[in-house]
Structure 1
Amino acid sequence: MKLFGYKLPMMSSLLIWAVLWEIVGQLDMTILLPPLSAILAKMVEIVPTNSFLSAFGVTARAFLVGTGFAVAIGIPVGVLMGKSVLIDRLLLPWVNMFLSAPLTALVPVLMVLFGIGEQTVIITTALFAIWIIVLDTRAGVKQISSSLVEMAHSFGASSFQAFFKIYIWAALPEILAGVRIGFIRAVKGVIIGQLLVSVVGFGRLFELYSANFLMEHFWALLLVLFFAAFTLAEGLGYLERKVDYYAASRAP
């Protein structure tokens, strides 16, 4: 980023927004936006508490299980769609529809089908993540040269071996891109699920803080969530860049 011909350090835009936030907060223009310094101080205060750690554990468990199901189902389905024209034509309209649909509207239906509990939160989390994983995996598989698969079969590789040694590795850059975006969507899914289905975890804390106008607590929790999502995205992005060289193996 450059300003008046001078190169600014990384994250400088965030620092500018932080300064503006602090100024607006100090002017006391609205109760809804406390000063950033007060929010950061409150974050340091609430993070070590038992209520926060307990809520974090509940949210992390639902997130990990939900994204685990999304990855375990989404990648094989994406590979099958990339390999088979018939499966692709059968599933692609549904995948595109669910990817673009407002999934929050499906939560009441899930509550009727699976009840009010952690199971529905996990399913909601998986639904937010799985569709982009399927589409990106499908895109990666479709870019694989058919000569790679033919060579593997000529050396006696089974379909199972070709799945792990050809399709997964050659499509790995796109798979990781889908997983990265899917995990970001899953963060939104798990919070929406906890707010609408069973008020537990971070959803319970958001409900508690907003109902009592504890805006410093509310923003502190939101910043923790943003930081966790950002760290997760950057970590997967780093891994994605590390395996980009596998894309070269798709060429004939």
Structure 2
Amino acid sequence: MTLFGRRIPMMTSLIFWLLVWEIVGRLEVMFLIPPITSIVAAGLNLVQTASWQSASLITLRAFIYGMALAIVVGVPLGVLMGRVRVIDNIFGLWVNMFVSAPLSALVPILMILFGMGETTVVVTVFLFAVWIIVLDARAGVMQAPTSLIEMGRSYGASRWTIFTKIILLSALPEILAGIRIGLIRGVKGVVIGQILVSIIGYGELFELYSRSFDMERFWALTMLLFAAAMLLSAGVEHFEKRIEYYAGVR
């Protein structure tokens, strides 16, 4: 970012809004917005409590199971849709519909099907994440360079070799981009699932803090979730850039 001809670090914007937040909190304009320093102090105390640690384990377990299922199902389905027209015609409409649909409305239906336990949260994470993974894997496979495929055929490469050495490797950046976005959507899904369906994990803590108007801990927990989602996204994005460079060099 450039201001008056001088380059300003991106972190400056974050610091500015944190200062605004602190001032608004100190002025007590709204009781829902406590000072940022109080939120940080509450967050430091929160991570030391047994309730937060237990809730984190429950939330992390549901998130990992749901995301693993979304990747295992989404990547192969997207690759098949990109390579086989019949499968693309069968699943294309449904995938596009679920990507744009308000999935939160389906959570009560999941509660009826899977009950009030952790299984419903896992399924919710899966539904939030899988569709964007499918679409990006499909796009990556369909955008594989035709010239490389033709060159492989001209040198007598088998279909399996062309698929694994050319198509799949060239699609890896798009596949990782879909997984990165799926991770962010999965964080949203695990919180929504825990709040709306089974009040466990972070959903239980959000419910407790909102009912008791403990806004310091409420905002501290929210910021911890945002930080976790950003770190996950940044980690996958770093790996994605390395793969993209490798694919470009090839």
Counting matched residue pairs gives: 248
Aligned to 2:46: 46
Q: RMSD over aligned Cα, in angstroms?
A: 1.7
Q: What is the percentage of aligned positions where both structures have the same residue? A: 54
Runs of 4+ in 1 over 6 A off after TM superposition: none
CA distance in 2, matches of 1:247, 1:222: 37
Gaps in structure 2 of 5+ consecutive residues: none
Deviation at residue 145 of structure 1 after TM alignment: 3.0
Cα distance in 1 for partners of 2:69, 2:237 equals: 21
Residue 8 (structure 1) shift: 1.1
2:157 aligns with 155
Structure 1 residues 163-203: Cα deviation after superposition (integer angstroms, max 9, x where no partner): 54443322010001000001000000000000011100001
* TM, length-normalised to structure 1: 0.93
Q: How does 1:190-229 map to 2 (within 5 A)?
A: 190-229=190-229
Which amino acid is 2:167 matched to? Y
Are residues 1:70 and 2:79 paired? no
Aligned to 1:86: 86
Q: 2-11 vs 12-21, which deviates more? A: 2-11
Extract unaligned runs of 5+ from structure 1.
none
* 81-90 or 29-38, which deviates more: 81-90
Q: Which moved more, 1:240-249 or 1:110-119?
A: 240-249
- 1 CA distance for matches of 2:60 and 2:167? 30
State how far apart, in whole Å, the 2-side matches of 1:127 and 1:209 are: 27
Find the aligned partners of 1:166 and 1:119 in 2 and give their Cα distance. Answer: 38
- 1:129 maps onto 2:113 in alignment: no
Q: Which amino acid is the alignment partner of residue 54 of structure 1?
A: S
Query: Distance in 2 between the 1:162 and 1:58 partners?
Result: 42
1:196 and 1:204 map into 2 onto residues whose CA distance is: 10
Q: Distance in 1 between matches of 2:182 and 2:103?
A: 14
Distance 1:3 1:146, change over 3 A: closer
Deviations 1:178-233 (A, max 9, x none): 00001000000000000011100001000000010000010000010011011111
Go from structure 1 to structure 2 and tell me whether the alpha carbon gap of 1:93 and 1:246 turns closer, same or farther (over 3 Å shift): farther
Match for residue 32 of structure 2? 32
Contact 1:79–1:167 at 8 Å: present in 2 too?
no
Assess, with a 3 A threshold, how the Cα gap between structure 1 residues 50 and 164 changes in structure 2: closer, same or farther: farther
Q: How does 1:109-148 map to 2 (within 5 A)?
A: 109-146=109-146, 148=148
Does 2:173 correspond to 1:182?
no
Q: Could you tell me which residue of structure 2 aligns to residue 13 of structure 1?
A: 13
TM-score by length of 2: 0.94
Aligned pairs for 1:233-252 within 5 A: 233-248=233-248
- Residue 22 of structure 1 corresponds to 22
